[in-house]
Structure 1
Amino acid sequence: MVGLVSIFSVSIIVICTIFVFLVSKNVNTTLEALSQTIESIIDDNPKDIFSTIEDTMLSKLQSQVIKLSDILKSHNIRQRKEKDDLASLISDISHQLKTPLANLNIYNSLLLDTSLSDDRRIEFTKNMQSQIEKLNWLMESLIKMSKLETGIIKLNIKNQSITQTVLQAILMVSPKAEQKGINITFSSEKDIICNHDTKWTQEAIFNILDNGIKYSPDNTEIHMSIIKYELFCRIDIQDKGDGIIESDINKIFTRFYRGENSKNIDGVGIGLFLSRKIVSQQGGYIKVKSILGRGSVFSVFLPFET
C-alpha cells in the first residue's frame, strides 16, 4: 500500500513538473512574440506576429497595440506639422515687416539732418506717413491671418442675405475704384439668402475686389453678379485687367505669393490667401478663370447648408 502511495506521489510530482515546464515554455513563447511585435513597432514596421484570423486575447492585444502606435504616430506628425507651420509663419511675418521698418528708419535718419530744406522735410515726412500707413495695414492683415490660421476666430455663420454682404463689400472698395475711374456694376436675380458669416465673407469679397481694382487699367469696369443654384450660390467678380499667367493661377492663393505680373504693383500677397481661408472655413471654395490681356473671373462658391 505504501509503495502504491509513493508511486502515485511521484506521478503527481512528475505531472506537475511537466505542466509547469509547458506553461513556462508557453509564457516564454508568448512574451517573445509580444516582444517581437513591440520591436517591429519601434522599427516603424509593424508585423502581425499573432494570427489576426483567430479571435484570441493575444491577437486582440496585438491589434490594440498597433492601433495605439498608429494614433501616437499620427499625433506626432500633426504636432510636427503645426510646429513647422508656426516657424514658417513667424519667418514670413518677420520678412514682411523688415522692409517698411527699414524704410521708416531711413526717413527718420534723414529727418534728423538739421540742414534739410523745408520742402525736403515735408516730402520725407509724407513718405514716412505713407510707410506708417502701410505698416499699420500690414499688421492688421497679419493679425487677421494669424487668427484664422490658429483657429482663434470662430465664424458666426447664419442664414442671411449674401446680396447685402456683397453690396457692403462694394461700398467699402468704392473710393479706391473712383480714384482709378473704375466702374463697378452689380447684378442679381433677387435678394439671395445664404448661410455665411457677414463680416468675414465681406472681407473675402473685398480682398478679391481690391485685387481686381489694383490690377485693372484706369477707366475700366468690374462686373459682379450672384447666381443661385440648388445647393450653393456663386459670386462672380470679373475684371478687365492684364489677366493671370496660367502657371500662377494655382499659386495666387498661397500666403505672401506675388505673381510674375505683379512686380510693379504695391502689395504683399495676403489678400487672396485670406479670402480662400475665409471661404473654405465656410465649406466653400474659389475658382479662377483668366485670359492674358483680357482679364480674370473669380468665382466664390458658398453652400446653402454648412
Structure 2
Amino acid sequence: MLQLYYTITPSRQSKVKEIRVIQQSLQTLQSRLKLKQKNRKALIDQLVHQTRTPLTILRTHLEGIEDGVIDMVPEEIRVCENQIENITAIITNMSSMIDAEKLETTLNIEEFELSQLVKQIVNGLKAQFEKKGIDFKITDHEKVSIKTDKYRLSQAIYNILTNAYKFTEPNGNVFVSYHVNSDSIILAIEDNGPGISKEDQAKIFGAYYKKDISIGSAGDGIGLYVANENMAIIHGTIIVESDLTKGSKFILTIPR
C-alpha cells in the first residue's frame, strides 16, 4: 500500500506563523476600527445633543424679542452672547475629540465664581421655562469660588435642567439650590414632575437609555449620560432621589 507523507519544513512552519500573525493583526485592526466607529458616533451624537440647548435658548430669546415679550436690554444681549460662547466651546471641544478619534478625558481647570455660573445658566433657560408655565428659580445659594472644569460642570447642569424642563408639566416647578461643605459643594436640582421608578433610576445614566412616558418627549437618551460622564471626569458625582408622582431631585457633589 502506497503511503504518502507530508513533511512541514521549517520554511513552511514560518509561513504558517506569518499567516497567523497576519490574521491576528487583521482581527486587531477590525476591533480598533469598530471601536473608532463607535467612539466617533458617540462624539457626534454628543455634539448634536449639546448644541441643541444653547440653540433652543437663542431661538426662545430672539422670538421673545421679536414678539415684544422680552426687552432688548444689556442683560438680555449678554444672555444671547453667553449661548453663542457655549456653542463655540462645544464645537471646539468636540472637534478636537473627533480629530483625535477618542473620548477626551483631559481637564481644563480654572477658578470661577459658582453663583455667577448658576445664575448665567438659569437666566439663559428662564424664558423657555416661563413660556411653558414652569416656576424656575434659584432658591438657596451663596458666593463661593471653585476650581474645576467650568465647561464640563456647566454642561452637566444644563443637561439635568433641560431634562427637568422636558418632564415637568405646565404650572410645575423646578428649583436650583446649593450649599457649601468643607471639601465639596452640593448642588440640587429638584422638580415636581412625574418621578422616576426605582427600576429606571438604575438605568437613566446609561448611554441611549430612553423611557417613554406620557409627558413630553423621551429624548435621545444622551443628556443624563453626558452629565454623569462629565461629573465623573471632574471627580464629582450625580445621584437621583425620586418617587413616582412626587418628582425628582438630582444631587451633584462637586469637589472644591
**TM superposition score normalised by structure 2:** 0.61
Which residue of the partner structure matches residue 297 of structure 1? 249
Deviation, structure 1 residue 154: 3.6
Structure 2 unaligned segments of length 5 or more: list them.
1-27, 47-86
What SS is found at the alignment partner of 1:300?
A: strand
Alignment of structure 1 residues 153-302 onto 2, 5 Å: 154-261=106-213, 265=217, 267-302=219-254
Is the 8 Å Cα contact of residues 216 and 239 (structure 1) preserved in structure 2?
yes
Query: Partners in 2 of 1:159 and 1:270 — Cα distance?
Result: 28
Deviation, structure 1 residue 159: 2.9
Alignment of structure 1 residues 66-215 onto 2, 5 Å: 85-89=35-39, 144=94, 147=97, 150-152=102-104, 154-215=106-167
Q: Taking CA–CA contacts closer than 8 Å with sequence separation of 6 or more, which of the two structures ends up with the larger relative contact order?
A: 2
Structure 1 unaligned segments of length 5 or more: list them.
1-77, 97-136
Query: Partners in 2 of 1:180 and 1:158 — Cα distance?
Result: 35
Superposition RMSD in Å: 3.4
Query: Partners in 2 of 1:80 and 1:263 — Cα distance?
Result: 42
- Relative to structure 1, the CA distance from residue 240 to residue 91 in structure 2 (aligned partners, 3 Å threshold; closer, same or farther) is same
What SS is found at the alignment partner of 2:241?
A: strand
Which residue of the partner structure matches residue 112 of structure 1? none
What SS is found at the alignment partner of 1:150?
A: coil
- Relative to structure 1, the CA distance from residue 95 to residue 262 in structure 2 (aligned partners, 3 Å threshold; closer, same or farther) is farther
Return the structure number with greater helix share.
1
Query: Partners in 2 of 1:79 and 1:302 — Cα distance?
Result: 39
Deviations 1:32-81 (A, max 9, x none): xxxxxxxxxxxxxxxxxxxxxxxxxxxxxxxxxxxxxxxxxxxxxx9998
**TM superposition score normalised by structure 1:** 0.52
Larger Rg: 1
Query: Partners in 2 of 1:218 and 1:248 — Cα distance?
Result: 23
AA aligned to 2:97 is K
- Relative to structure 1, the CA distance from residue 199 to residue 90 in structure 2 (aligned partners, 3 Å threshold; closer, same or farther) is closer
Query: Partners in 1 of 2:173 and 2:138 — Cα distance?
Result: 11
